[in-house]
A = this chain, B = another copy of it.
């Protein structure tokens, strides 16, 4: 797979080399630390710069100093690599272990909405209940490593056999705008809006953020990032106090707890994009925990979502579909 550099203008090794240069201060020292010769690092760095189209380090002065672009790459690369380094160890850890406890992971955008009903329901099934809020990816890996028994998230892990799946709800992604902004009706208007106003995004750590990124990429929309968050609350806060817009969902709007007049909602121009929250869990023959929790969650949401939306964003009432099997 070493063909022409299609999509990624860098390799792990190159990023690693670059970081070594940042840490060590010189190319020679970095080469020593990496256990390769000096020209190897020199060339790698040069090609990295060529492919990125930017100088990364200013070698005119000594010791070499990072350019602004280099400083950014350092941030990004070191985050990326420390993330990558975790993957292999985690995969080795996938074994099985069982605890009597009932452990439930809930995606951030449903944490507040569901915690109450989950506590009530789960308390009747288990003596000990642990509930954690977080991102889908974290819950999924915890589920697969059996650190969780069930999770509410955006990934139904369809490829994994021997898991139970209970769909909870489907909802559209919508635009959320600062009050005063005119909702765009077409993609061109959306593009114009983005030229004048900041786009507040979910981070790529969240499934929601990944979904939205991919959708925008397919539409050829390339909003600059200015503000990013990994929770619904974070995304909506900046809208209330300035000129900006975000892509979010009705449930996220409810979860964020913003005031009714702080944000204006509108449909997302272009192709429809939705997300589905699914309960995924290890089968539990005795307690039937996945099924019972799913049904309780649905009942609770059925009773509360429309009512809350009618106060926050009447136009979105009916957009959230609580599912059944």
Interface set of A (CB-CB < 8 Å, partner B): 1-3, 6-14, 16-17, 22, 36, 40, 44, 52-54, 57, 65-95, 99-101, 103, 111-112, 115-116, 119-120, 123, 127-134, 137, 140-142, 144-147, 149, 155, 157, 159-161, 203-205, 209-210, 213-214, 222, 224-231, 233-234, 237-238, 241, 257
Contacts and interface: CB of A to CB of B under 8 A. Distances in A.
A-B interface, 6 closest residue pairs, ranked by CB to CB distance from nearest: A66-B159, A1-B13, A82-B145, A79-B147, A8-B12, A78-B146
A84 to B, nearest CB: 6
B233 A132 contact: no
A144 B66 CA distance: 12
Contacts of A2: 2, 13
A160 B67 CA distance: 6
A127 to B, nearest CB: 6
Contacts of A137: 75-76, 79
A130 B210 contact: no
Query: For the complex formed by this chain, how many copies does it contain in all?
Result: 2
Contacts of A103: 75
B210 A116 contact: no
10 contacts: A52-B88, A66-B159, A72-B140, A75-B137, A75-B140, A83-B83, A86-B204, A86-B213, A132-B205, A133-B231
A146 B74 contact: yes
A227 B82 contact: no
Contacts of A229: 115, 130-133
B159 A74 contact: yes
A72 B9 contact: no
B74 A227 contact: no
A204 B112 contact: no
Contacts of A209: 82
B83 A204 contact: yes
Contacts of A157: 71
Nearest to A130: B228
A128 B54 CA distance: 19
B230 A132 contact: yes
Contacts of A93: 224
Given A36-B3, A82-B204, A115-B233, A160 B66 contact: yes
Contacts of A144: 68-69, 71-72
A1 B14 contact: yes
A72 B54 contact: no
Given A130-B228, A227-B128, A101 B75 contact: yes
A290 to B, nearest CB: 15
A234 B131 contact: yes
A82 B112 contact: no
Given A75-B141, A82-B204, A93-B224, A161 B65 contact: yes
